[in-house]
A and B are shown apart, each in its own frame.
Chain A
């Protein structure tokens, strides 16, 4: 069965520091990979997606992620964090034929210190 692991439940960084959020997945073939962000009291917003091709994908708000097949990972990065990036981040896996059924990780809550 497909699964997604986000090892870090909570991360705190200083404003201006770089950020990397980890995501590992379990799936037999190449999945569709996503990062979504959720601010308090809000729904989820798609940050970026990977289907195929270039393994480094760019998203909104200055985020990027790299797909590494050998490590079954899809880590999210940002070179300089802003206070407004404080939110919960979810990695998700979809698959061909699964339509819009996604398997989500447990999420990583990001706090940003001024």
Chain B
């Protein structure tokens, strides 16, 4: 069974640009969550989608958004990039709403 797939794995952007990250969950998993990992702030919850609906959101500015498609694939978007957005963005899928998450390898974003 294929795991969680995130694309792209690495990307470099400049301040003010926007970026879209993609996540394909494990087959059959309808929940997709996104987390940001930085050396300073650690792992922080961004949002969760289930059946195309956002059902939980973390404490991030509106520049961070996401969506989920009918096939459960998810994208997250960050607009007007800032240097502080440089991070590893992790996607996780789940069968259950209880925190048992299966993580992808992440998309490492560098903002210059």
Q: B105 in the interface, Cβ–Cβ < 8 Å?
A: yes
* Residues of chain A lying within 8 A (CB to CB) of residue B106: 43
Verify A43–B4 contact, CB threshold 8 A. Answer: yes
* Residues of chain B lying within 8 A (CB to CB) of residue A36: 101, 103
Q: B74 in the interface, Cβ–Cβ < 8 Å?
A: no
Q: Give CA–CA (A98, B103) in the complex, Å.
A: 18
Verify B105–A42 contact, CB threshold 8 A. Answer: yes
Residues of A within 8 A of B (CB): 32, 34, 36, 41-46, 49, 51, 90, 92, 94, 98-107
Total contacting residues, chain B, CB less than 8 A: 26
Q: Give CA–CA (A67, B97) in the complex, Å.
A: 21
Q: Give CA–CA (A95, B48) in the complex, Å.
A: 15
Q: Give CA–CA (A42, B37) in the complex, Å.
A: 12
* Residues of chain B lying within 8 A (CB to CB) of residue A51: 98
Q: Give CA–CA (A107, B97) in the complex, Å.
A: 23
Stretch at the interface among B50-58, B64-72, B75-83: B50-58
Minimum CB distance partner of A6 in chain B: B42
Verify B90–A43 contact, CB threshold 8 A. Answer: yes
Mask: chain B, 93-112; 1 = CB below 8 Å from A; 0 = not: 01001111111111000000
A-B contact pairs, 25 of them (CB 8 A): A36-B103, A42-B105, A43-B4, A44-B92, A44-B101, A44-B103, A46-B101, A49-B98, A49-B100, A90-B43, A98-B99, A99-B31, A99-B48, A99-B98, A100-B31, A100-B33, A100-B48, A100-B98, A101-B45, A101-B99, A102-B43, A102-B45, A102-B99, A104-B43, A105-B42
Once A43-B103, A43-B104, A43-B106 are accepted as A-B contacts, the answer to whether A100 and B97 lie under 8 Å apart by CB is yes
Residue among B45, B58, B104 facing the most chain A CB atoms (10 A cut-off) = B45
